Amino acid sequence: MPLRNKEEVLKISFSAFFADLGYQAAVGSLPILLVVFFHAPVFIYGITEALNYGGGSLISLLGGYMADRVGSKIVAVTGNALIIILSFTGLAQNYLEAVILFVAGWWSRNFRTPARRAMLAEVTSDEERKEAYGILHALDIGGAMLAVTYLTLALYFNIWIGYILLFTLIPLTVSTMLLYLVKAGKKGIPKRPGKTALFLVVSTMFFGFSQYSFGFPILTAYGVSHKTYLATITYGVFLGFSSLFGYVFGKAKLQSYKGLAFLGYLLASIATLGFAILSSHGLLFIYLLSALMGIAVASTETFEPTIMSKLSPQGTGSSMGALSFGRSIGLLVGNSLMGFLYQISYSYAYIFAAIMSFIAFIIVIIKVRES
C-alpha cells in the first residue's frame, strides 16, 4: 500500500539525508581531530561523547516536551538550524574548543530529534509507520555514508580536517530548509510514557550502554592500519549497511518486538564481542563487524520509534523524547566507561558493551513472552 502522505515523508527523510550529509562527517572526524591531531588521550574522547549524549538526554526530553506544547515543527526547525554550530569545530585551536563547539551542535540535534519523529508519526497511519521510519533511516544513513565517503577522500588527499568541517555548513542549511517546508508539526498532549512504553525506554537505555560512539571502532581500525582514511572506511561500511537494512526492515513483514530483540540488540551484542576478539586479525574483520553493527542499528532505529509511536499516540513528542532520553543516558555511561576501559585495553571496552546489549535483548524477550 503506497504512503498517503509520501511527499511529506520524503521531505522529512531528505532533510535527515542532508543533515547527516553534514554532521556525520564531523562525527567521523572528531576522534581523529581529538586523538590524532590534538593528541588528546582516548578517555577525553570518551568523556566528550558522554557529554554529547548525557547532556543530550536532557535536551531530548526538553525537545519532546516542547514539541507537544508549542508544535513539533517549530522545535524541529529551530534545533536543526542550530546543528551548524558543530561545523565551526573546524576553527578550533585545541581540543577543549573542539569539544565545546561539537557538544553545542550535537545537543541541538538532540533537541530536534523527538520533534522530527513526531512529525513523521503525524503524517502517517499506524500501518504506514514502520515503512516511513525505515525510509527515514535509509535516507538518514545514506547521507551519512556519503559524508564519510567525502571525509575519507579528503583525508586521503591530505585536505585539512578543519576545511571538511566548515564544508558541512552547506548540507546542514539545506536540511533545515527542507524541514521548514514540511506540512506537519501540530501540538500534542504532553505526558510521560505509560508502563507499557517504559520497558522500551529501559531496554534502549541498556542498548545505549553498548551503543558506543562509532569513533571507537574508527580508533581501533587506525591502531591496526595507522592510516586515517582506512580508519574512516570502517564508519562508511557501518553506515552503508545501516542505510540499506533500514529500508529493508521498513518494508519487511517482521514483528517489531522480535525484530528489535534479535536483529537489533542480540546482533549488536554478537558484533561487539567480535570487535573484542577479532580486531587484532586485521581490517577485514573490523569491516565485517562494522557491517553487522550497521544492520543492528538499522533494526533499532526502525523498530524502536515504530513501537513507541503506537504505544503513545497522543503524546508522541514527549514519548519520543523519553525514548531518546533512555538511549542518551545509556550512551552517557557507556561512552564514559568505554573511554576508560579502552585506555586499558580495547577488548575490555567491547566486552562490556556486548554484555549491556545482551541485557537489552533479554528485557525485550521477557516483554514478548508476557504479551
Residue pLDDT, tens place only, 174-183: 999 999 999 8
Q: Which of 36, 159, 168 is nearest to 102 (CA)?
A: 168
Which of 48, 31, 135, 27 is CA-nearest to residue 99?
A: 48
Q: What is the pLDDT, as a whole number, of residue 11?
A: 95
C-alpha cell at 236: 562508511
Confidence band, pLDDT 50/70/90 cuts, at residue 201: low
Q: How far apart are CA 121 and CA 157, in angstroms?
A: 42
Q: Which of 2, 57, 297 is nearest to 305 (CA)?
A: 297
pLDDT of 300 reads 84
pLDDT at 190: 53
Mean pLDDT of 42-52: 87
CA-closest candidate to residue 289, choices 269, 274, 276 = 274
Q: Which fold has domain 6-184+194-370?
A: Growth Hormone; Chain: A; (1.20.1250)
Domain boundaries, the chain: 6-184+194-370
- Residue 206, pLDDT score: 62
